């Protein structure tokens, strides 16, 4: 059986549960956010703009180049486009903190990229998928309404974000009390969901995961390098470079899985790419954090006149 013929075992009830879990994870993240996080973005927009450009423009474009060079089967290629179109992952702020990166920048990027993803994720998936011949025909084989995809992303990301920030604003003490527990419980449920999905589709996973290991490794490496060197090219401080590298390299593959099961019927290649991404980016992110945690970020010395070099 070809990987493109695989339809993973997934029933509507478990899909509804996954949608709710992603929403609860976003709600827990939103309890950490304040309006000041967004104001900080507009007062010093340069790092944010560089990070978002790497996140939503460079990574999808480099993914297109990678897919063109490696020429994987269409469902794997479309899975790579899906992951590249997602915003930063939920653990990026924690990994940035461990890496001695700019954690406030990481939090701001997570918040803004989540809002931007409501529009940019479906646009990127449809745009890059339609440019590559194999995925273009695959997209046409499914009935996909970009407005429906946008609305679903809003329900999972935008609505929990607004509600969580409102509760943080109105009831800060309550938000601080439930914040950590909420995130831990929702992430634990998400891990349990992934494990149960893996067990129910174990034969498929073992059979086909080898086909995605290399391309996921390369895409994740490209993501981190494009984030880091974009920031370096614009002479951002080392702490900012680390934050942007991690934000671009830790993708919200859980959101990708939800969209794959909702709009692509759990197409095997796409789902296995997103599932393996969920495993691999944690390994690579924590490994990078272990390396950077032992190295203090260099501070760019000011030159004469008070302007940074």
Contact predicate 69/260, CB 8 Å: no
Q: How many residues does the chain have?
A: 309
| Per-residue pLDDT tens digits for 260-274 | 887 887 787 888 898
Q: How distant, in Å, are the alpha carbons of 107, 120, 121 from that of 157?
A: 15, 13, 12
170-180 pLDDT, tens digit per residue, is: 888 888 777 76
Band of the pLDDT at 303, cuts 50, 70, 90? very low
pLDDT digits (tens, 9 = 90+) for 195-212: 776 676 667 677 777 788
Q: Around Cβ 34, how many Cβ atoms within 10 Å? A: 15
CA dist 178 and 232 (Å) reads: 38
In the block, which residue shows the tokens 């174990």? 202
pTM (2 d.p.): 0.78
Set out the domains of the chain in order of their start, with CATH numbers: 8-292 (1.20.1530.20)
């Amino acid at each position: 059986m070809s990987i493109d013929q695989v339809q993973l075992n997934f029933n509507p009830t478990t899909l509804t549960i996954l949608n709710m879990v992603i929403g609860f994870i976003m709600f827990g993240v939103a309890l950490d956010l304040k309006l000041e996080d967004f104001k900080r973005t507009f007062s010093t927009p340069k790092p944010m703009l560089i990070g978002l450009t790497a996140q939503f423009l460079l990574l999808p474009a480099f993914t297109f180049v990678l897919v063109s060079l490696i020429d994987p089967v269409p469902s794997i290629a479309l899975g790579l486009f899906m992951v590249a179109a997602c915003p930063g992952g939920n653990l990026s702020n924690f990994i940035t903190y461990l890496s001695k990166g700019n954690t406030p920048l990481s939090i701001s990027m997570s918040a803004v990229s989540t809002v931007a993803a409501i529009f940019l994720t479906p646009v990127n998936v449809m745009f890059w998928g339609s440019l590559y011949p194999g995925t273009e025909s695959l997209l046409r084989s499914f009935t996909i309404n970009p407005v429906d995809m946008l609305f679903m992303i809003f329900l999972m990301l935008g609505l929990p974000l607004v509600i969580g920030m409102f509760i943080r604003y109105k009831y800060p003490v309550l938000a601080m009390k439930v914040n950590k527990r909420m995130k831990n419980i929702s992430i634990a449920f998400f891990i349990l969901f992934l494990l149960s999905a893996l067990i129910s589709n174990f034969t498929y996973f073992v059979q086909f995961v080898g086909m995605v290991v290399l391309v996921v490794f390369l895409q994740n490496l490209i993501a981190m390098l494009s984030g880091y060197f974009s920031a370096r090219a614009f002479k951002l401080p080392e702490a900012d470079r680390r934050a942007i590298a991690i934000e671009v390299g830790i993708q919200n593959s859980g959101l990708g899985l939800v969209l794959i099961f909702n709009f692509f019927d759990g197409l095997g290649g796409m789902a296995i790419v997103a599932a393996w991404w969920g495993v691999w980016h944690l390994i690579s992110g924590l490994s990078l954090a272990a390396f950077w945690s032992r190295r203090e970020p260099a501070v760019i010395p000011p030159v004469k006149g008070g302007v940074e070099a």
